[in-house]
Amino acid sequence: MLLSQALPKLRLYYSEGSPYARICRMALREGGLVAKVQEAVTTLRDPAASVLTHSPVGRVPALVLEDGTTVTETTLILGWLDRVGSQPAMLPVDAVGLAAYGRVLGLLDGIAVWNRELRRPVDERSPSVIALEVTRAGRVADVLEEAVVAGAYNSVDAGYLALAAVLGYAEKRHTVWRWRLDRPGLARWFGQASERACFLETVPPPSGI
């Protein structure tokens, strides 16, 4: 075998707790790209973080290409993975699929803000920010409940993986959010998504929140 065939060409930086990076890690597995992309764990918010060698942003996911160009942002990385041959392609092309993905990303962004507040010392937390994000999360989850019951998020794409990642995050790293209450459809959907190998291979460690 040629050496060039044996070496992974792309490197995906991730942290085990990151739901954004998890979307990309699940996409690698679902899209048949595990042999093409090496996964590299990095610390975060750390001046010695290995990802900082490639991206001044210092966030994950970050995908380092063959020539050293580093693509950041989950959606842009998913687009690149599609370009290098993900089967199936992960980014939706139709409006309904894009809307479904965007809705879950918005939920995830809100949960990330809420979670960040909870990681601050109690007297530095903003009750109004938390209240806003609690309301947003509930509002989006109610729409998602109706959507999954109506048959949405039923095939693997960016929206599906993002939904699995955000609910998986809530299970392990943001348990203050009782998203299952009055949402049996979403709970059922999550139970099924949780059985996929891509999900089981990327479970984050608990955070205590």
Ligand X SMILES: N[C@@H](CCC(=O)N[C@@H](CS)C(=O)NCC(=O)O)C(=O)O
Residues that bind ligand X (CB under 6 A): 18-20, 44-45, 58-61, 73-74, 112
Rounded to a whole number of angstroms, the minimum distance from the CB of residue 192 to ligand X is 24
Beta strand spans in 58-175 (E): 62-64, 70-72
For residues 12 and 37, the answer to whether their CB atoms sit within 8 Å is yes
Cβ proximity to ligand X: between 78 and 144 the closer is: 78
The dihedral of CA 57, 63, 64, 66: what is its sign?
negative
Cβ proximity to ligand X: between 29 and 185 the closer is: 29
For residues 194 and 164, the answer to whether their CB atoms sit within 8 Å is yes
Rounded to a whole number of angstroms, the minimum distance from the CB of residue 170 to ligand X is 13
Cβ proximity to ligand X: between 44 and 65 the closer is: 44
Return the residue nearest ligand X (CB atom).
Answer: 59
First-to-last alpha carbon distance for the chain, in angstroms, is 48
Cβ proximity to ligand X: between 29 and 187 the closer is: 29
Q: Tell me which residue of 143, 196, 198, 194 sits closest to 170, measured CA to CA.
A: 194
Rounded to a whole number of angstroms, the minimum distance from the CB of residue 18 to ligand X is 4
